[in-house]
Structure 1
Amino acid sequence: MTTPEKAVRVNGVTLATQAFGDSTDPAVLLVSGAEATMDWWDEEFLARLTAAGRHVIRYDTRDTGRSTVFPIGEPPYTGDDLLLDALGVLDAHGVAAAHVIGVSMGGALAQRLAVLHPERLVTLTLMSTSPDGPGDPGRPDLPPVDEALAQWFAEPRPGPDWADRDAVIAHFLAAEHAFAGRIPVDEERLRATAGRAYDRSPAPAAASNHWRVEGGEPVRARLGEITAPTLVLHGTHDPLFPYGHAEALAREIPGATLVPLAGMGHQMPVPEVWDTVVPALVRHTAPR
């Protein structure tokens, strides 16, 4: 698939975007996780969605890829700005309402979109994510981070030399191994993806700003207000957000459908689960 990038000016920043498929087909907005450029949405995966008649839009969140970046450690924006960025991408592509798919941090943003801007969603899909905000009375505590991943977080680990392409790719690959489940990591595929992301990123270290951003007022207590038909896709061996997080989302969002992804960890959908993920997404985003 080859399609030109479109730089759009929204909410005081410039965001790099790409749209695939026929613009008259149902629009699907992909919202990435923390530190992830839009390259992590695999183009073969996108090709399957467009072949099913979907108009798919992906974009570099601010501080990633070719979008506006800020000084490292000093992000002058909040999670609410990231929310407005997503709406601005829809506006720039002439989309009044979309099927919104968010993964990890993007899943938290997608939940907030569904609660705070319900008119902009046709459906909601949440991947590898967790209820946005702490628990409250009447909701059980969510399962903790897997012990092995907690230990990995605790180990002192210097960051890579961001000017060294190979070192940065190795950095991303190590993280992928730490967050993977029981499906073997395809190092060749991931090296290619990480390389593309690096080559498109004038300041790849800036993506770490995402971890310093205030998320805004939690909306977990309002998940019951979500009216968009909701699909929850979650790896059965996610070490960051164990499967109980997905079960909580499915309980707390009215009418949500939960689909387990056998063996997958905290990851973008890996090819081994596409035969489950793509048909589920096509069914979920079909015209109603």
Structure 2
Amino acid sequence: MGLNGSLTDWKRHTKYFGHQHASRYTCLVFDNRGVGRSDKPLSFYSTSEMAQDAVDLVASLGWIDLAAPAERSIHVIGASMGGMIAQEVGVLIPDRLASLTLCCTAPRLVRTGPFLETVHQRASMFIPRHIDVDLQRIAKDLFADGFLDQPDTEYGDPTKNFPTRRDRFAAGVLKKRADTDRYTVKGFLMQVVACYFHTKSPAQLKALGDNVGRERITICHGTNDLMLTFRHGEILHEEIGEGVTWKVFEGSGHMLSWEREHEVNQMIEEAVGKWS
């Protein structure tokens, strides 16, 4: 999962794969270091170290055997910062991956707008504000215009829904901020460091494509993503090379897992079905 996101943020996908279709799929979700129920050491975090965390976890559960001959047995999906980590997983164990899906992520951070505008956007993450103002800023960065203003339809039972998706989003943020054990400023800042120093060169991305197999890689991005602009996804696609599946979500923002839930599930299911 992405920056300061926990395993529960995969719920729209684990509901589909791990519950509704549990006879066909087994899902593993986890908290990255720095958030949720995982440790939050005060140290330099890197996406490569966080990828090693993931590989160690999968190996400890017996999903892969690093001492045995390589077998393509796992499907890896990463979103945003998680997509950066997933790239590093592909570097560490390319011949263990049956497929690799990279959602709304980047090979490295590039400036795609005016310099001062870019600086202001990045710095605004750390400026204390009234909660209403901060919620508005976060929503603007994460979602396409108009999405959160629509009625909340999370549950079939209307009595369980909020008036709008914006109300559901705000409640989630407030609940997270109230849990000061699982969500800490220290852990958040260490994850930010990992994002800012994540760098994959064109040569490294070409090698990723060569070693994982471009036909096994899916890249998707929303055209209205303000957190990691659409250009980041284009660079990832261009530098891994022709042969990957490139899915463009027109008019969507950074939170494809919510905005385009069913289409993302279908996209993942197609990749998993093709390479299982």
What's the TM-score bracket when you normalise by the shorter of the two chains? 0.7 to 0.9
Q: Which of residues 111, 133, 136 in structure 1 aligns to 2:87?
A: 111
1:13-44 per-residue CA deviation (whole Å, 9 max, x = no partner) reads: xxxxxxxxxxxxxxxxxxx1122222222x23
Residues 129-208 of structure 1 mapped to structure 2, 5 A cutoff: 129-132=105-108, 143-144=112-113, 151-154=120-123, 158-159=127-128, 167=131, 171=134, 174-185=137-148, 186-198=165-177, 202-204=181-183, 205-206=185-186, 207-208=188-189
The match for 2:14 is 46
Relative distance call for 1:194 and 1:156 in structure 2 (3 A) is closer
Provide the C-alpha distance between the structure 2 equivalents of 1:277 and 1:156, rounded to a whole number of angstroms: 27
1:137-190 per-residue CA deviation (whole Å, 9 max, x = no partner) reads: xxxxx74479867544455963379xxxxx5x9746631323322342222222
Alignment partner of 2:246: what SS?
A: strand
User: 1:48 Cα shift?
Assistant: 1.4
The match for 1:35 is 4
Pair 1:258-2:234 in alignment = no
User: 1:276 Cα shift?
Assistant: 1.6
**Native 8 Å contact 2:144 2:251 kept in 1:** yes
Provide the C-alpha distance between the structure 1 equivalents of 2:140 and 2:199, rounded to a whole number of angstroms: 32
Pair 1:248-2:235 in alignment = yes
| Structure 2 segments unaligned to the other structure (5+ residues) | 65-72, 149-164
Higher strand share: 1
Q: Which has the higher contact order (CA 8 A, sep 6+)?
A: 2
**Aligned residue type for 1:92:** S
User: 1:240 Cα shift?
Assistant: 3.2
The match for 1:126 is 102
Relative distance call for 1:130 and 1:76 in structure 2 (3 A) is closer
Provide the C-alpha distance between the structure 1 equivalents of 2:228 and 2:199, rounded to a whole number of angstroms: 20
Pair 1:102-2:83 in alignment = no
The match for 1:10 is none
Provide the C-alpha distance between the structure 2 equivalents of 1:44 and 1:150, rounded to a whole number of angstroms: 33
Alignment partner of 2:260: what SS?
A: helix
Relative distance call for 1:190 and 1:83 in structure 2 (3 A) is same
User: 1:79 Cα shift?
Assistant: 3.0
Provide the C-alpha distance between the structure 2 equivalents of 1:262 and 1:68, rounded to a whole number of angstroms: 37
User: 1:280 Cα shift?
Assistant: 0.9
Q: Which of residues 59, 82, 87 in structure 1 aligns to 2:55?
A: 87
Q: Which of residues 230, 237, 240 in structure 1 aligns to 2:217?
A: 230
Pair 1:62-2:33 in alignment = yes
**Native 8 Å contact 1:33 1:103 kept in 2:** yes
The match for 2:261 is 274
**Aligned residue type for 2:3:** A
Higher helix share: 2
The match for 2:157 is none
Provide the C-alpha distance between the structure 1 equivalents of 2:236 and 2:171, rounded to a whole number of angstroms: 33
**Native 8 Å contact 2:222 2:248 kept in 1:** yes
**Native 8 Å contact 1:114 1:121 kept in 2:** yes
The match for 2:160 is none
Alignment partner of 2:268: what SS?
A: helix
**Aligned residue type for 2:139:** E
Provide the C-alpha distance between the structure 1 equivalents of 2:82 and 2:230, rounded to a whole number of angstroms: 18
The size of the alignment, in residue pairs, is 239
Between the aligned residues of both structures, percent identity stands at 22
Provide the C-alpha distance between the structure 1 equivalents of 2:49 and 2:55, rounded to a whole number of angstroms: 10
The match for 1:210 is 191
User: 1:196 Cα shift?
Assistant: 5.0
| Structure 1 segments unaligned to the other structure (5+ residues) | 1-31, 135-141, 162-166
User: 1:58 Cα shift?
Assistant: 1.0
Provide the C-alpha distance between the structure 2 equivalents of 1:132 and 1:35, rounded to a whole number of angstroms: 18
The match for 1:15 is none
Provide the C-alpha distance between the structure 2 equivalents of 1:149 and 1:179, rounded to a whole number of angstroms: 16
**Aligned residue type for 2:56:** G
